[in-house]
Each structure stands twice: as C-alpha cells, then as structure tokens.
C-alpha cells in the first residue's frame, strides 16, 4: 500500500505541483495562471484565471474522437421505454435546450431550477445550463411544495424546468401540481416555466408556462456557443437534504470540479474512454450530478440513466442492464443491495456479468454482512466509498487506478488524494492516534471539486463547517470515525446520532452493525429515544430475511433475545437496545436513506414532520404498530 500512501502524500504536501499536473486532464480555453489561491482560508480558489466549461469537457471535446459512440443510455422500467443517444446526438439535444433557455433570457450567472424525474431531458437541461454559464439547481423530484418553494426563494431562478409526472414502482407521481403549489407559496416568481409532458398526468399550462416539445421543435439544429467561465465561477447549487429553516445550498465551482471528476474516473473508478458507467442514483442527489451526468461524460464514457427500482420487473433488472450494455463499472447504494439480498439468489446468476469490473457502493455506511454477501455473490470486487454532498466526490475510497489494495470489510479504505483527513477529539481539537474514535475532519484547503461556499452566505459556510472544533479551523464532516493500525478508515455514524444512555455515549451505527451481523437480519435501524430514567435508550427496528421466523410471541421473544446476546458479545451490555422490534419495512426516502428522525418522533409520540420524500408512508405505520 506504499504507492497509494505516497500518492496521497504528494497531493497534500506537494499540492501545487500535484494539482497543476492533474489540471492538464481537461480543456482550458484560457490557461490558468495559478493552481491554488489559499490566501483566505477556508475559502480556496483552484486554477485561478483559467477559463473552461463543464459542458464542453463533457460533450464537445469528445466529438472528434467518438461522435458515433453511445453517450447517454436511458432505460425506464416504469414506462417501458428507452432511448440511446450518441455523442453527436447528445450534442444536438444540449444545443437545442441551450437555445430554448437563451430565448427565455437565461445567460451567465442566471439560475435555472430543475424539478424533474429521471428522464433524458433533465440531463440535456443540466448540460445546457453549463454551456450557457448558467447555474443549475436540481431539486429532487419528490420534495413537497413547501420544500420546493424554499429552494425557489433561495436560488431565485429565472427559469424552472419540470415535468407532468414521474413514476416509482409503477405508481405515477404528479409533479406539476406540486410545482404550481410551490410557485403560489414562493416569493420569487421565475420568468418562465418549461414542462416536459410525458402523458402521465394532466399538466395544463398557465401564463408563462411552455411545453418543452414545442420549444424543442422550434430550435431544431440550433448551435449555441460555449460560455467560457473563470474556474471559480459557480457551476451549480445543490441543497442538502434534511435541512431545517433556510435551505443550505452547496455551491460548486467550475474548473476544480471538472478536474476532480476527470481524475476520479481514472484513479478511483479505474475507467477508460469508450467504457460504460452505470450509477443507480438520482440526479437530485450529488452522486447523480457527479457520476450519472458529469463524471462519466467528462471521462469519455457512456452513462446509463435508469428510471426504476432494483426489483422491477424483478430482482435481476440491474444485472440484465449490465449484460445488455456491457457495463464496466456499477455504482449503487448499500440499501439497494440489501433489497436485492431479500430476492431469489438465482437472479444473480441469470445474466452474463463478465464485462463488470467492480461494484462501488456509497450513500450510507456499508455493513459487513451486506458487503460480504454481494461480493461473494458477484465474484467481483466491492468498493465502499465515503463522501458527502459538500465534497462532490469521494473523501475515502480504495483507488485501484493508483494501486490495488486488499479490501477490509466495513471500511471505505483510505483518504482520497487531495483530502487531508484526520480523526480529531471533539473537545480538545487534537489529532487522535489509531484505534481512537473521534470526529472525521478535513484540514483546509478543501481539494478541487469540493464545495466553495454556501450559496449567498459565506458567513454560514464558515460557521457551519469550520467552527465546530474548538481552537482549530478544520472542516467537520459531523461523522464519527476511527483508523486501524493498518491505515484503514471506519465511519461510525453521525455525531448527531450519538446517544447518551445513563452517561454512556453510544453510536447507533455501531449497534446497527452488531445487530446486522445476525444471520437472520436483512435490515436494521437503531435510534435514540428519550427516556425519563436514562436520558436516552436505544430502540432497534429489524427487517428479517424471513418474517415467518418471528411469527408468534414466543418466537419473537426468542429471536429478540438471541440478537441481544449478539450485541452483548460484540459491544457489551451497555450497548444493548431497550427493545428490538420486528417490522416488514423501514421508512425510507426514495433514494434509500432510512428516515431515522421520523422513527424517533414516532417513538416519542411527536409529529414526524414533512415526509415528502418517504418511499412508503405505510412503513411509519408499521413502526407505530410495533410499538403497541
């Protein structure tokens, strides 16, 4: 592992030289004058004076080399449709949308808000904004009107692009009524609204609202020149999920982000131009921005845009797509794997997966049982990687494009080049040695591609991320972590998921990991619930692989006791949950994240709040029933 350590050392201690070299991966219309300006930390400016464009690097740059190769592959198992675009066809569509937006007055620095399902028009619009030098803000297509209105008021978009509806699990989800409600609630009315009519739900157009297809036809064959942006100019705003009060808009730069993604396609994903990349995320999340839309295209790879679930029409759909499109890299989430774990294991052997090189998983900690199961089932390397909306690309990951290193179950491996990551004592601000648990923090400057500030609020950027550790200006991830003696990192859960049971501080993530190691557990969520005697107690909710094993009060008590003993043996009696309850499903967002705060609210008899993004509203009812 010496090579990867030396590589990381150079990226931190020979920062200017290292990133100057990496800057040569992309096209600069005007060369940069200085690699890094860190004179005003924690604000960092990368590739100062250089002018470039995200859309040009993702689309135009590849036209002379692979105009007729597949670039964007759209598959929807929701509406049983697919469309495949070559590089040249993608270029045509992006130019047409850029012309549409330009007609509506969109130019450099203007904001365009997208509230869209997983359809090609969303990708065209993101790239068209980048082409014009406009700033896009994609809002996940499941947020309620109130959440959407907050983001409209914060970004103040000139144009909003949306659709009549999306679909999830075969159920139509109207978007247009939610958008109209949000517009009524907001104070910042856009100049125009453009609607993609998929024919899924009624979507009558009001004044100032336009049909996408009609505008598209009017601009057939248009050619819109690229707007070259200084490297530090913003490329997009992405609001972090779960914000309260005023939304927190992560602002990304242009040049640093392009370089970071270009480098990651080689070093982290070990990919080459002409390959096929399949990321199962949603464009409303940061993973979708970086590795559905921009990263693969910047790396000269075809990218798959998938509208559907991992189990529709059956649990083999992802593997069918891997076989059909000869996918080389698959990027998904642990939740999706846990869903597949409950399917017939024969489905994993139905398709030819010889093209698949590696499975990458991110979005939440990857527990050992899930990692072991999918690795053995596929016979392929499984790489856990850890990052955040704020980072834009992985903070911790194996980096097979630098050096192949043996995986360690439960660990996202090592700090990624460019990130000076430390485990820090939250009380003293001191670095902690191997084996000690502390806050995972990054010493500034943040590397290229990481957030540059919070949209419209530099003071909040500093206050939120760089002032939580006493006596030290470091970026706090607000996650607990530790490093073992061999340098492998482990993420132990959010600092705000730590519970205090009779004076003992316990990480709910650690308890979840312990319960999940039980052979009969498919999924598990542990939360801290207020308790008059102990302050807080841990409550666990478990989904079994075979629910029939907990039928009847006696069987349920026996299984609960068995799992309690596992926690006792692994973590000690102090970590034992007050109760383990068995449920058929956990309440999750449509991106697969468990709504732990909603579970806590239900357990404490409080209103769980806005559940606009919940996948199955009945799941919270199951939690309530289990409490009885």
Report the side by side order of strands in the sheet with 135-138: 209-211, 192-196, 159-163, 111-115, 135-138, 236-239, 249-252, 453-454
Percent of the chain with pLDDT over 70: 96
Question: Residue 299: which of 57, 84, 65, 88 has the closest Cα?
Answer: 57
Q: For the packed helices 87-103 and 120-132, what is the interaxial angle rounded to 10 degrees?
A: 70
Nearby residues of 573 by Cβ (< 8 Å), 6 or more positions away? none
Q: Which residues of 482-491 are buried (b: 16+ CB within 10 A; e: fewer)?
A: bbeeebbbbb
For residue 503, pLDDT over 60 is answered with no
pLDDT band at 51 (very low <50, low <70, confident <90, very high): very high
Nearby residues of 6 by Cβ (< 8 Å), 6 or more positions away? none
* Interval 383-410: pLDDT, tens: 999 999 999 999 999 999 999 999 998 8
Q: Cβ(134)–Cβ(112) under 8 Å?
A: yes
Q: In whole angstroms, what is the distance from residue 174 CA to residue 167 CA?
A: 8
Mean pLDDT of 21-31: 98
Question: Residue 147: which of 168, 178, 174 has the closest Cα?
Answer: 178
Mean pLDDT of 5-24: 98
Question: Residue 135: which of 7, 11, 233 has the closest Cα?
Answer: 233
Q: In whole angstroms, what is the distance from residue 346 CA to residue 366 CA?
A: 23
For residue 502, pLDDT over 60 is answered with no
HSE (side-chain half, CA atoms, 13 Å) at 431:
8
What is the structure's pLDDT at 92?
Answer: 98
Q: Judging by beta carbons within 10 Å of its beta carbon (0-12, 13-18, 19+), is residue 616 exposed, middle or buried?
A: middle
Cis peptide before 468 (omega within 30 of 0): no
Residue-by-residue DSSP string for 251-282: EE-SHHHHHHHHHHHHHTT---TT-EEEE-S-
* Interval 403-415: pLDDT, tens: 999 999 889 999 9
What is the structure's pLDDT at 613?
Answer: 61
Q: In whole angstroms, what is the distance from residue 159 CA to residue 454 CA?
A: 21
For residue 590, pLDDT over 70 is answered with no
Mean pLDDT, all residues of the chain? 92
What is the structure's pLDDT at 140?
Answer: 87
HSE (side-chain half, CA atoms, 13 Å) at 1:
13
> CATH classification of 502-627 is 3.30.300.30, yes or no?
yes
* Interval 457-492: pLDDT, tens: 999 999 999 999 989 999 999 999 999 999 999 998
HSE (side-chain half, CA atoms, 13 Å) at 322:
25
Domain locations in the chain as residue ranges = 2-26+37-480, 502-627
Q: Name the 3-class secondary structure at 223.
A: coil
What is the structure's pLDDT at 242?
Answer: 40
pTM: 0.85
Mean pLDDT of 108-125: 98
Do domains 2-26+37-480 and 502-627 share one topology? The answer is: no
* Interval 358-378: pLDDT, tens: 999 998 778 888 899 999 999
Question: Residue 259: which of 286, 232, 282, 285 has the closest Cα?
Answer: 232
For residue 244, pLDDT over 60 is answered with no
What is the structure's pLDDT at 243?
Answer: 37
pLDDT band at 506 (very low <50, low <70, confident <90, very high): confident
Higher pLDDT, 86 or 513: 86
* Interval 153-165: pLDDT, tens: 999 999 999 999 9
Nearby residues of 119 by Cβ (< 8 Å), 6 or more positions away? 74, 76, 163, 196, 198, 305, 307
How far lies 470's CA from each of 16, 121, 192, in Å?
29, 47, 47
DSSP E strands, 328-405: 329-332, 358-361, 382-386, 396-397
Among 100-104, 142-146, 504-508, 538-542, whose mean pLDDT is lowest?
504-508
Residue owning tokens 């593997």: 319
Q: In whole angstroms, what is the distance from residue 98 CA to residue 100 CA?
A: 5
Q: And the tokens for 1?
A: 């592992």
Q: Which CATH number fits domain 2-26+37-480: 3.40.50.12780, 2.60.120.10, 3.90.930.12, 3.90.1150.10?
A: 3.40.50.12780
* Interval 8-17: pLDDT, tens: 999 999 999 9
């Amino acid at each position: 592992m010496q090579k990867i350590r030396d590589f990381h050392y150079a990226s931190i201690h020979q920062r200017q030289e290292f990133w100057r070299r990496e800057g040569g991966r992309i096209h600069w219309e005007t060369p940069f004058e200085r690699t890094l300006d860190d004179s005003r930390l924690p604000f960092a400016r990368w590739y100062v004076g250089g002018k470039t464009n995200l859309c040009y690097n993702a689309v135009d740059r590849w036209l002379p080399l692979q105009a007729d190769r597949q670039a964007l592959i759209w598959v929807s198992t929701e509406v049983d449709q697919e469309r495949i675009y070559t590089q040249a066809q993608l270029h045509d569509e992006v130019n047409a949308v850029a012309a549409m937006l330009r007609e509506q007055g969109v130019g450099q620095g203007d904001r365009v808000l997208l509230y869209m399902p997983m359809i090609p028009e969303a990708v065209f619009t993101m790239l068209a904004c980048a082409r014009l030098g406009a700033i896009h803000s994609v809002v996940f297509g499941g947020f309620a009107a109130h959440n959407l209105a907050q983001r409209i008021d914060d970004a103040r978009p000139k144009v909003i692009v949306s659709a009549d509806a999306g679909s999830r699990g075969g159920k139509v989800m109207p978007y247009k009524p939610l958008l109209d409600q949000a517009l009524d609630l907001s104070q910042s009315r856009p100049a125009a609204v453009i609607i993609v009519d998929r024919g899924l739900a009624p979507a009558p157009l009001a004044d100032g609202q336009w049909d996408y297809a009609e505008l598209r036809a009017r601009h057939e064959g248009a050619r819109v020149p690229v707007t070259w942006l200084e490297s530090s100019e913003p490329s997009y705003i992405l609001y972090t999920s779960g914000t309260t009060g005023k939304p927190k808009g992560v602002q990304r730069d242009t040049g640093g982000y392009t370089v970071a993604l270009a480098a990651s396609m080689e070093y982290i994903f070990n990919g080459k131009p002409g390959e096929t990349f399949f990321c199962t995320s949603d464009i409303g999340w940061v993973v979708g921005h970086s590795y559905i839309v921009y990263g693969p295209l910047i790396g000269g790879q075809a990218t798959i845009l998938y509208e559907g679930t991992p189990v529709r029409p059956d649990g083999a759909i992802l593997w069918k797509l891997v076989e059909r499109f000869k996918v080389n890299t698959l990027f998904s989430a642990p939740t999706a794997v846990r869903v597949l774990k409950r399917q017939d294991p024969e489905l994993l052997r139905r398709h030819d997966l010889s093209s698949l090189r590696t499975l990458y998983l991110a979005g939440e900690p990857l527990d050992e049982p899930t990692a072991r199961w999918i690795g053995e089932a596929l016979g392929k390397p499984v790489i856990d990687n850890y990052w955040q909306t704020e980072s834009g690309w992985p903070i911790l990951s194996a980096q097979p494009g630098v050096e192949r290193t043996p995986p360690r179950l439960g660990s996202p491996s090592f700090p990624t080049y460019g990130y000076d990551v430390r485990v820090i004592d939250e009380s003293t601000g001191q670095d902690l040695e191997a084996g000690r648990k502390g806050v995972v923090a990054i010493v500034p400057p943040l590397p290229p591609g990481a957030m540059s500030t919070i949209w419209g609020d530099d003071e909040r950027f500093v206050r939120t991320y760089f002032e939580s550790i006493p006596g030290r200006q470091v970026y706090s991830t607000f996650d607990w972590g530790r490093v073992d003696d061999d340098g492998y990192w482990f993420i132990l859960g959010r600092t705000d998921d730590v519970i205090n049971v009779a004076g003992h501080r316990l990480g709910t993530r650690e308890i979840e990991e312990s319960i999940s190691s039980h052979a009969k557990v498919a999924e598990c969520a542990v939360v801290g619930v207020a308790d008059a005697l102990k302050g807080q107690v841990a409550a666990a909710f478990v989904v079994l692989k075979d629910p029939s094993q907990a039928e009847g009060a006696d069987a349920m008590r026996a299984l609960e006791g068995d799992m309690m003993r596992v926690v006792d043996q692994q973590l000690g009696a102090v970590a034992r949950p007050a109760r383990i309850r068995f449920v058929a499903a956990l309440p999750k967002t449509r991106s697969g994240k468990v709504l732990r705060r909603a579970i806590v609210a239900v357990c404490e008899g409080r209103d769980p709040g806005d559940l606009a993004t919940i996948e199955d509203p009945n799941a919270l009812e199951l939690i309530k029933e289990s409490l009885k």
